[in-house]
Amino acid sequence: MSADTQFHVHHDAPEVVGRRERLGVRLLIVADGAFLFGMIFTFFYLKNLNNGGGWLPPDRKHMFSVASAWVGALPLVIAFISHKMGQRNLKAIGNFSIITFISLIVGLVYQLNQMGSMHFIDSETHSFQGAYASAWVLMAGANTFHYIIGSFVALGLVIRARRASVDPTLEKWRIRIAASWFTWIAVSGVICALVLSLAK
């Protein structure tokens, strides 16, 4: 098997495949960003509207703490930093990708645990108490989506780092593309944490 056919699973050159995949991820980020800013607009609209005093739950003790929002965003930031360090030392990208993967799984478990123990569901009607609750669930769902997609991306990097038959040119493209996604989800997580900090 020649060096040209050893790595190529696509008919196109690695640069062409890389550009195509980069475009796909950029479009995903743009769409996700539009959704995020739609959530933020809805959050502040409902907060300022406060129709019938229904923004916050009757008992504010049922709200999640500000610290919990930042704890939920922290693994996204750690994943971003870990991947950036791997980018600077490609020989260790596999090890850094493991750290990225673990941090995202920890964040996913934390976020799912939060969603499974929400304080603001009325025990009688089984509905959310206050518009804040609905806005929180929407943002927690967005974070969960980011954790799931990010975990698959990180796992893919771990697997490919241990394979000998990976096209090095295409892999460099994919590492850069993954960096775009990890950067975005870290920024998104911080924005969500900041917005939730302004709930009261």
Q: pLDDT digits over 98-135, tens only? A: 999 999 999 999 999 988 877 666 656 666 667 777 88
Identify the pLDDT of residue 2. 44
CB atoms within 10 A of CB 197: 13
The per-residue pLDDT for 124 is 63
Alpha carbons 64 and 49: distance in angstroms, whole number:
21
Q: Which stretches of the chain score pLDDT less than 70? A: 1-12, 57-63, 119-129, 164-166, 200
DSSP string, 84-121: HHHHH-GGGHHHHHHHHHHHHHHHHHHHHHHHHT-S-B
d(CA 36, CA 40): 6
Model pLDDT, residue 20: 85
Residue 12, phi-psi category: left (phi > 0), alpha (psi -120 to 50), beta (remainder): beta
Q: CA 195, CA 92: separation in Å to the nearest integer?
A: 36
Q: Specify the pLDDT at position 172.
A: 85
DSSP 8-class letter at 164: S
What is the pLDDT, as a whole number, of residue 59? Answer: 60
Q: Domain ranges for the chain, please list them.
A: 13-56+66-197
| Alpha carbons 158 and 55: distance in angstroms, whole number | 44
Phi and psi at 121, nearest 5°, equal: -105, 125
Answer yes or no: CATH 1.20.120.80 is held by domain 13-56+66-197: yes
State the pLDDT at residue 3.
45
Alpha-carbon span 144 to 196, nearest angstrom: 16
The pTM of the full predicted model, rounded to 2 decimals, is 0.83
Positive/negative CA dihedral, 107, 113, 116, 122? negative
pLDDT for res 128 = 63
